[in-house]
Structure 1
């Protein structure tokens, strides 16, 4: 059995733990992993969450976890600034690494992490779990089969309102040295992952960014703290195929909770999707009889693998955490030698090159086009 070391017990830490606990029950071909070590601070919290999540041992020192012989796979779910050093230490120790996005605070960190992963020869995966939604996988299949003809444009938006309130206190997410990019690093990278999975690599971007709330009240009430990264970003993109696109993201969009929506326009139809209705896919196909034109709603069901591994009932729906279980299943299969984990560090680096190119265009290029390496 693969021994799991989990670092972090917040939103994504719990999501990882739930996936490890569920994966063998959902997917009969995947052996149940062994929950070996959990790390958090303070030590009392580590002990409490180890008991809650079912881990055998707790520690408050992540360096102890990455070298523990009981740990084969290190899950990194900490704040962004810690990803780089934790992943490099785990790779140096010969461990497989499962890291939440983004890889690093800077493009240079991401490049070093991808190079270290290649040199280590271990399995890596980055948490882009929206790619695993059966509805999205079906959208990929429809595009590949030519159901909407030749792709002519991609339009995408990812919005949340967790930083819409100007009274929200300053936090680490506002500081470049701890969070890196803002809305792009937290949300926009997910949109890029979907866009490239559907339309191929992005070759150039032309962008603008905005910080909606330039300062926020300090948590202790002692004045205001500066917001050093973007709340909103928008980019025109050109895919290497020649297809054009528009990507926009905001963490200050009141009313939006988990909107990750896109439209793929084709020469013979269109596909539309919104993660807030993650079990529905909209399909328009241009039939000769225009009196029959209209969108068709496709509800997720067992016909859309791997939905059926969770429930045999179509239309009953999967949830956010189920996407992570699908992701973990692919990761554990790859470690067992069956298939490959995706996106790995190399693929994640290509995603992060795009978001950093967007930031570069907005900051340095005066909104001019920035080309990405082929």
Structure 2
């Protein structure tokens, strides 16, 4: 491919993130097709025109289906709220477009299964937006685990905490509606699951407990509305190979802004990582004299590819949008028929099944096998 035409549905936080990635991917990596920003869709026509001008798209529309009919659009980024993913992704694939869809796949498991089936039958690339696995530090951690630097892994702990739902006086909005999903589980719990699946393999069994720190939220104009989702989840895990695990999720954790704390324990050492300090990790290896043993901090640098594509010096650091740009490059590699580090709809379905198994475990009060 010399060029590739891009469509974008949704222009909020993640829509802008995708636009930045499409705009910068060729400049950073210096390969792949020239990206042509063809068509942008946003429900409000005035906002669509404004965002198209800001992001650099040639055409704007208030009807996302216009992108399906546009022969110049080869790949569509879907960055709309969760409830719209299934309809849009399936329609795009059936129209012959490649798809890059933000997580989670869908609110209902049956919709996620349909998405995976349509993707498999379409012959098109269908990728989910799990950009944390693209971090050069996480890539390096994967190599350390595979190389046995910490020995045989026997336990993993993951915490994901943010505080955007912490204030009990914050007004009710769509993330508290059941139609958006279960809450912490599929709103952002899928991100640590993507790390687990990438680093250690799929989840095989779960035991979960969900909680609502705030039972009601104020409604604009007065009154209260019951919260329909769960902002807290505590999960016991059994992973591939019998590895035990614990995952704790909290959307109401005051002071936490973007924390994904990962600890991987092996019989020869430990690896620790926190997304709020995404340009470093800690490594402990049980070797040498006990009097000098201890965790050492490793800073990201050009030796941790593809950090070197952004910055030639260590310790300067990448950001969230850079991870999405790396993911964009992997999407283009997949479209070009190359091996790519992505979570496609087939592998994403494993994450969706794990989430729904956790919800079922909470409802039934028991372990659920996947």
Give the match for residue 166 of structure 1: 168
Q: How much has 1:220 moved relative to structure 2?
A: 2.9
Report the Cα distance in structure 2 between the residues aligned to 1:278 and 1:269, rounded to whole angstroms.
21
Report the Cα distance in structure 2 between the residues aligned to 1:128 and 1:33, rounded to whole angstroms.
21
Report the Cα distance in structure 2 between the residues aligned to 1:115 and 1:341, rounded to whole angstroms.
21
Give the match for residue 37 of structure 1: 39
Report the Cα distance in structure 2 between the residues aligned to 1:288 and 1:255, rounded to whole angstroms.
38
Number of matched pairs: 368
Report the Cα distance in structure 1 between the residues aligned to 2:233 and 2:68, rounded to whole angstroms.
36
Give the match for residue 73 of structure 2: 71
More displaced 10-residue stretch of structure 1: 212-221 or 53-62: 212-221
Report the Cα distance in structure 1 between the residues aligned to 2:102 and 2:306, rounded to whole angstroms.
22
Report the Cα distance in structure 2 between the residues aligned to 1:340 and 1:152, rounded to whole angstroms.
28
Give the match for residue 369 of structure 2: 371
Report the Cα distance in structure 2 between the residues aligned to 1:288 and 1:315, rounded to whole angstroms.
27
Report the Cα distance in structure 2 between the residues aligned to 1:340 and 1:280, rounded to whole angstroms.
24
Give the match for residue 335 of structure 1: 335
**8 A contact 1:183–1:249 mirrored in 2:** yes
Q: How much has 1:341 moved relative to structure 2?
A: 5.7
C-alpha deviations, 1:304-351, integer Å up to 9, x for none?
A: 000000010111000000000000001011112222461000111111
Report the Cα distance in structure 1 between the residues aligned to 2:69 and 2:244, rounded to whole angstroms.
46
TM-aligned CA distance change 1:187 to 1:330, over 3 Å:
same
Counterpart secondary structure, 2:57: coil
Give the match for residue 273 of structure 1: 273
Give the match for residue 187 of structure 1: 188
Counterpart secondary structure, 2:241: coil
C-alpha deviations, 1:256-299, integer Å up to 9, x for none?
A: 00001110000000000000000001000001310111101110
After the TM superposition, list the runs of 4 or more consecutive aligned residues in structure 1 that deviate by more than 6 angstroms. Answer: none
Report the Cα distance in structure 2 between the residues aligned to 1:15 and 1:220, rounded to whole angstroms.
33
C-alpha deviations, 1:65-85, integer Å up to 9, x for none?
A: 122111110110001111111
C-alpha deviations, 1:153-184, integer Å up to 9, x for none?
A: 0000000000000011011111112x112011
Give the TM-score of the pair, scaled to structure 2.
0.98
Residue 209 (1) aligns with residue 210 (2): yes
Counterpart secondary structure, 2:53: helix
**8 A contact 1:123–1:341 mirrored in 2:** no
Counterpart secondary structure, 1:33: strand
**8 A contact 2:181–2:187 mirrored in 1:** no
Identify unmatched segments of 5+ residues in structure 2: none
Report the Cα distance in structure 1 between the residues aligned to 2:133 and 2:109, rounded to whole angstroms.
22
Residue 350 (1) aligns with residue 347 (2): no
Residue 102 (1) aligns with residue 94 (2): no
**8 A contact 1:39–1:46 mirrored in 2:** yes
Give the match for residue 297 of structure 1: 297
Counterpart secondary structure, 2:197: helix
**8 A contact 1:201–1:239 mirrored in 2:** yes
Q: How much has 1:41 moved relative to structure 2?
A: 2.2
Q: How do 1:1-374 and structure 2 match up within 5 A?
A: 1-177=3-179, 179-221=180-222, 223-340=223-340, 342-363=342-363, 365-366=364-365, 368-372=366-370
Report the Cα distance in structure 2 between the residues aligned to 1:329 and 1:40, rounded to whole angstroms.
24
Report the Cα distance in structure 1 between the residues aligned to 2:70 and 2:316, rounded to whole angstroms.
41
Q: How much has 1:29 moved relative to structure 2?
A: 1.6
More displaced 10-residue stretch of structure 1: 330-339 or 239-248: 330-339
Report the Cα distance in structure 2 between the residues aligned to 1:225 and 1:161, rounded to whole angstroms.
20
Report the Cα distance in structure 2 between the residues aligned to 1:121 and 1:31, rounded to whole angstroms.
20
Report the Cα distance in structure 1 between the residues aligned to 2:46 and 2:139, rounded to whole angstroms.
41
Report the Cα distance in structure 2 between the residues aligned to 1:199 and 1:63, rounded to whole angstroms.
39
Give the TM-score of the pair, scaled to structure 1.
0.97
TM-aligned CA distance change 1:185 to 1:258, over 3 Å:
same
